[in-house]
Amino acid sequence: MAKRITIDPMTRIEGHLKIEVEIENGKVKNAWSSGTMARGFEALLLGKDPRDASYVTSRFCGVCFSVHQMASARALDAAFGARVPWGGTLLRNLVMGAEYIYDHLVHFYQLSALDYIDIMAVADYKGKDPELNKVKDKVVGLVKRGDTFPLTPRYKPDEFCVNDPDVVISAVKHYLDALNMQIKAKNMGVIFGGRAPHYQSIVVGGFTQLPDINQVARFRSMLDEVAAFVEEVYIPDVVAFGTGPLLPLARAGVGGGHRNYLSYGAFELNESGDKLVFKPGAIFGLVGTKPQRVEPFKPEKITESVRYSWYKKETPKHPYEGSQVFDLQRPEAYSFVKAPRYENVPMEVGPLARGLVDGDPTLLSLINNHGVRPGAVARHAARAIETKKVVEAMYQWCDELTRIMTKPGFRIHDTDHWDPPAESEGAGFFEPPRGALGHWIRIKNHKIANYQAVVPSTWNASPRDERGVRGQYEESLIGVPVPDPENPINVVRVIRSFDPCLACAVHLIDPKTNEIRRFMVE
């Protein structure tokens, strides 16, 4: 008989997410993903000055604020007819590149790594390295004082958790080092963005702050430090874990899901914009790991279903036609997340989707040489590999900015298109660290008549659609091994591998006893 367990809220993610799974014979038989917090920003924007949108939508989130500002500015660019000068594009790209470094390091070390190591193995470290012994003393001291907040809550380590003291203590050292690196990455964004959170410099038409040579030099100096960490620590750690203790999970493709992938494309490498770091495209039904036919991305193929969402009943609509009228009484609804579909099909978005759409040779080589199947472990690898690609592009953007910023006519903003049109519409697309992000705006009488955003976690965390087809989180959990229902560590590994935008403590509620179980470092 199937046993149903609820994880609410999921921890070490951003926001509020509830996952329910039905377990039978030690594997997940069915799953439900539920976003339990309403956003409502789109409704807030109606009737406002369109130029407010990029500032308001950056408040979607205190972590990935900048990417919404970027997508919103792009939607306004399209609606206003603005053409962002090359200087403005370079500055936008440098700020967004810093966001990639920040997000990917935090996700691997602070949010995910604890799923793969037995942190208490550090107590058994016998080496003489003074830095590592400081780490040992710190962790053991925290546990003795009962102050384990940075390390808990967690699930009980299983057979896939690394418990070699030398490996674990190095990983924990890198966890601490990564904290410093993410600070540097965030400060890099602030140099041009103005402040964090909620940058002030990204607006319709381009950028507001003219750079000077000292800013570029400071940015590049910090880039050197984080680039070295990515090359010498982050990538080796991900490869060592993925091809070592986690290889059985990687080869099994645990957490694969529908195996449909979507990327909007992002990061111009030249002024014409025809050369990008990430290509746009869609892959349907990936089979094996061979390069697949990549279909061109067509925005008109995007629709959103609210069949199982707490919104007023309506047929699936393109985001231009979408609305946000809540209905909390709908009997079959179980999420505030809508169900976006591309050609009526659920898609995965994020680093793995980008890597497969790109046919990234490093990612494909890693997959093919080790027999890895797309799934939870492959997502971590794709994330590390693309961080290096973005870092390399950031050096090109720094060089290009330095070359053009002192020339006559250097521009960062299309000031001729600052005033809102009487009527217009536009869509802005970007590829933030978590995946495909789109904003859509309609303007009437110089005001916002409609505004919709389909964010990466909307794609991945969606509930079922009109046809009852599961969303990507839900499908990715089908077949996941859960030998002990009291310890669903594989469930959270799969969900965290997507880097959901969600937060808080962990507890499981048994549906029969309603008993709450708390997990702490032993």
Annotated active-site residue 161? The verdict is: no
Annotated active-site residue 174? The verdict is: no
Angstrom CA distances, 252 to 97, 175, 335, 377, 499, stand at 32, 27, 30, 10, 20
Annotated active-site residue 522? The verdict is: no
Which residue type is seen at 276? L
E strands in 417-466? 423-430, 437-444, 447-454
The residues, any chain, with a CB within 8 Å of residue 19's CB and separated by 6 or more, are: 6, 7, 8, 10, 31, 32, 33, 34, 473, 477, 491, 495
Q: What angle do CA 218, 236, 240 make, to 5 degrees?
A: 160
Two tokens, residue 274: 């025809």
Two tokens, residue 417: 């298109």
Going by the DSSP 8-state scheme, the letter that residue 145 receives in this structure is H
Angstrom CA distances, 6 to 16, 330, 360, 421, 492, stand at 14, 21, 37, 49, 11
Sign of torsion over alpha carbons 313, 317, 322, 324 = positive
Among 457, 462, 476, 497, which one carries the catalytic annotation? 457
The total of other beta-carbon atoms located within 10 Å of residue 43's CB is: 14
Annotated active-site residue 417? The verdict is: no
Among 58, 64, 379, 496, which one carries the catalytic annotation? 64
Among 33, 34, 42, 61, which one carries the catalytic annotation? 61
CB 332 within 8 A of CB 305: no
**By CB neighbour count within 10 A (0-12 exposed, 13-18 middle, 19+ buried), where does 148 fall?**
middle
Among 12, 68, 104, 107, which one carries the catalytic annotation? 68
CA gap 350, 212 in Å, rounded:
34
The residues, any chain, with a CB within 8 Å of residue 283's CB and separated by 6 or more, are: 260, 261, 262, 292, 293, 294, 295, 353, 356, 357
The β-bridge partners of 335 are 309
- Which candidate, 81, 85, 349, 388, places its Cα nearest to that of 229? 388
Annotated active-site residue 398? The verdict is: no
CB 137 within 8 A of CB 145: no
Annotated active-site residue 14? The verdict is: yes
Sign of torsion over alpha carbons 269, 271, 274, 278 = positive
Among 59, 318, 504, 507, which one carries the catalytic annotation? 504
**What's the full length of the chain, in residues?**
522
CB 204 within 8 A of CB 80: yes
**Enzyme catalytic residues:** 14, 61, 64, 68, 434, 457, 501, 504
